[in-house]
Amino acid sequence: MANQTAKPTSLRLEATTKLCCSDFQRLIRLAQVQGRPRGAVVRSALLQYLDSFEEAENLKAAS
């Protein structure tokens, strides 16, 4: 499987500034409970968040 990395865009950079430390702490606790690698859980959640943020911004721009 190819390693896919999200290209940083100004929209994605804006989205990540809205996250706070407690968001990441919650994800790390979730990883511990699930027994999954912390990095994988945080990366997956962050990519989902960024994609949904980008989709919402695109919908706003289209209307």
**Is the predicted pLDDT of residue 56 greater than 60, yes or no?**
yes
Query: Does residue 5 contact residue 11 with C-beta atoms inside 8 Å?
Result: no
pLDDT tens digits for range 6-34: 555 666 666 667 777 788 888 889 889 99
- Integer Cα distance of 38 and 40 in angstroms: 5
pLDDT for res 42: 84
**Is the predicted pLDDT of residue 1 greater than 50, yes or no?**
no
**Alpha helices of the chain — where are they, by DSSP H?**
10-16, 21-34, 38-62
**Is the predicted pLDDT of residue 50 greater than 90, yes or no?**
no
**Is the predicted pLDDT of residue 35 greater than 90, yes or no?**
yes
The residue assigned the tokens 């500034």 is 17
